[in-house]
Amino acid sequence: MGFSEIVTLLSGVALFLFGMSLMGDGLKKIAGSKLELILYRLSGTPLRGVLLGTAVTAVIQSSCATSVMTVGFVNSGMMKVRQAVSVVLGAILGTSITGWIICLSYMGNGGIGSIFSTATLTGAVAVSGIIIRMFVKKPWARHIGDIMMGFAVLMFGMSTMSKSVGSLGSDPGFRGMLTSMESPVIGILAGAVFTAVLQSASAAVGIVQALSATGAMSFSTALPLLMGVAIGASAPVLLSAIGANTEGKRAALIYPVAGAVSTLACAAIFYIADAIFGFPIMNDTVDPVRVAMVNTVLRFGMVLIAMPFSDVIEALVTLIVPVGKAAAEDPSLRLEDRFIAHPAIAVEQSRLTVNAMADTAREALEDSLKLLSGFSEEGFKKVQEKEEAGDRYEDALGSYLVKLTGHELTERQNKDVSAYLHTLSDFERISDHALNIAESAQEIKDKGITFSGDAMRELSVTEDAIREIVGLAFGAFIDRDLDAATRVEPLEELIDELCDTMKLHHVERLQRGECTIHQGYVWADLLTNFERVSDHCSNIAVAMIELEADEFDTHEYINRLREKRTPDFERQFEEYRAKYAI
């Protein structure tokens, strides 16, 4: 095999890998943006996990991608290691579909078969794909064009590989090399190393199919090579363990452990049976179709052997990776960079993280309000910790969402990401104001400040109003409840009115000698923070309403709302005024 044939072979491999990637991406997008979400939401039982892992891998054409996604699920706490075992086993089986697709590149080349030859099929698909991609503007059409172009590139790459090795069938050196591969140990090692270097089981199987087309490969050579491919395919998944936590590292080991153990078990069973019964197929010549069949049967056998021992595989990876340091309460835990390439998962995880941020801010505010009636250092420390968590949430989510905007998103995903980016600072600022309220409570306690009975009653009423507006705004955001969101602005306006009234009442009490200047400073700080909290709740609700209506000018919306106070607005405002009368 000369230098030009080697270069041709490598170029064929490159085209094959690119075509497979392009076709897989298009298939994934056509299958729906929620494909990955289905993978982890519906993988509750071992059988379901295997079926889903098989289906997803068949669509995205990569067991490595499915396994890396699964590592991300486990690393972020979305999935348990036990669930991941069945999904990875499904991925091992699902990747065999590529071998059958490759068989299309070996269709007839003579007579009427020339109509369906590789060159004709590839050309027809390529022309159709580029026409669809160029002249049909809808996104789904572009994805179909990508699938067709990817398929054409894959077929051309496979044809190139086959041509580069076509002359090897009569080469004595090549035949001698294949004969040496009949040794199970040598064949498995060669297949594993070769696949680990290529970083693609599909490409390795494709090359085995190309070599089998020379007519020089026997079943006894192909089987150990395919066994080695099944083991070597785990190499890229191991890289996903870098930067993962203990559970993530264990998940990354599932593929190599399950692949190696089940492959060796299949090898032991088959070769022991062959030694006893002497299978006549061992010396049969294989072709690309038979290679695809052997690959599928082998992987099916691997899954059948491994499924009953899922607990054993879990125990093995747990033993290999001992318990590490307990994961800290890290707000970015769910925000896996592994998911950026899978926007449906990334957006869903962002949603869960924003919701967790909202809960933290709400808890911080509630804890701070409790400190006004009974201060404690422990309660103050809780508010501080939650305010610091809010800062970390904002940093982690802001960076993650900006990365996500660089990928193709659906209209719904774009709206969700915009909503998260618009409201992050409001949630963070509410936790800041919670800390300010806690500091005011600390000042009241340290300086021995007491408010009059009327002041305490007014403060209690306003606290209840603050609790309601936070509950309304946060609930509307988390549940995407536009009706609840529309009730926020009337309450925000009432809280502004309450705070203004309370300031006037304090001045009156000051004039009567019932309150002091020192009380007034703390009083003013509290009311300012109450107003700011209600303002941020208004921002959250308004941003949510506007984004659903494809509008983004928050101030213009509020001004229109206040200038044209609708009957519903007036009714709700009066209801709140009656409820929170001081």
CATH number at residue 386: 1.20.58.220
CA distances from 135 to 124, 128, 141, 237 (A): 17, 11, 9, 39
Residues of the chain with pLDDT under 50: 109-115, 326-329, 551-552
Whether 252 and 395 map to the same domain: the answer is: no
Please state the φ and ψ torsions of residue 285, each to the nearest 5 degrees. Answer: -80, 135
Instruction: Please name every residue paired with 218 in a beta bridge, in sequence order, or none if there are none.
Output: 285
Q: Is position 325 within any domain? A: no
Q: What domain range is 316 assigned to?
A: 3-320
Q: What's the CA gap between 210 and 102, in Å, rounded?
A: 10
| pLDDT value of residue 42 | 60
Only one residue has tokens 């993978």, namely 39
426: amino acid identity, one letter: D
Q: What is the pLDDT of residue 551?
A: 47
What does the pLDDT read at residue 110?
A: 44
The residues, any chain, with a CB within 8 Å of residue 203's CB and separated by 6 or more, are 13, 16, 17, 20
Same domain, 157 and 299: yes
Quick one: 290 and 219 in the same domain? Answer: yes
83-103: b or e for each residue (b if 16 or more CB lie within 10 Å)? bbbbbbbbbbbbbbbbbebbb
Residue with tokens 């309150």: 515
- Nearest to 394, CA basis, from 361, 439, 363, 437: 361
Contact 368, 435 (CB under 8 A): yes
Q: Are residues 288 and 355 in the same domain?
A: no
Query: Is residue 332, in this structure, part of any structural domain at all?
Result: no
On whether both 431 and 283 belong to a single domain, the answer is no
> What's the pLDDT at 549?
58
Cβ count within 10 A of residue 508: 11
Residue 330 in any domain: the answer is: no
Q: Does 60 reside within a domain?
A: yes
**Pair of tokens at residue 307:** 């499924």
Model confidence pLDDT, tens digit, residues 511-556: 887 777 778 889 999 999 999 999 999 999 988 887 765 544 555 5
Helices and strands in the chain: count of H runs, count of E runs: 25, 0
Q: Evaluate whether residue 197 is within a structural domain.
A: yes
3-class DSSP assignment, residue 375 = coil
pTM of the model: 0.66
Please say whether the beta carbons of 179 and 216 come within 8 A. Answer: no
Q: 297 and 210, same structural domain?
A: yes
Asked whether residue 315 falls in the same domain as residue 341, the answer is: no
In a domain, 527, yes or no: yes
Residues 348 and 475 placed together within one structural domain of the fold: yes
Of 293, 320, 347, which residue sits at a domain end? 320
The residues, ordered by sequence, that sit 6+ positions from 225 with a Cβ below 8 Å of its Cβ are 181, 187, 188, 190, 191, 208
Of 274, 290, 320, the domain-final residue: 320
Residue at 329 is within a domain: no
Q: Is 567 exposed, middle or buried (0-12, 13-18, 19+ CB in 10 A)?
A: exposed
Listed residues 288, 320, 352: the one ending a domain: 320
Distance in angstroms (rounded) separating the CA atoms of residues 543 and 565: 19
Q: What is the number of domains present in the chain?
A: 2
Both 89 and 138 in one domain: the answer is yes
User: Is there a single domain that holds both residue 186 and residue 270?
Assistant: yes
Where do runs of H (alpha helix) occur along 166-200?
Answer: 172-180, 184-198
Identity of the residue numbered 48: R
Please check whether residue 328 lies inside any domain of the structure.
no
Examine the domain organization and report whether 47 and 184 are in the same domain.
yes
Q: Identify whether residues 360 and 256 lie together within a single domain.
A: no
How high is the pLDDT of residue 117? 59
Cα dihedral across residues 498, 501, 503, 505: positive or negative: negative
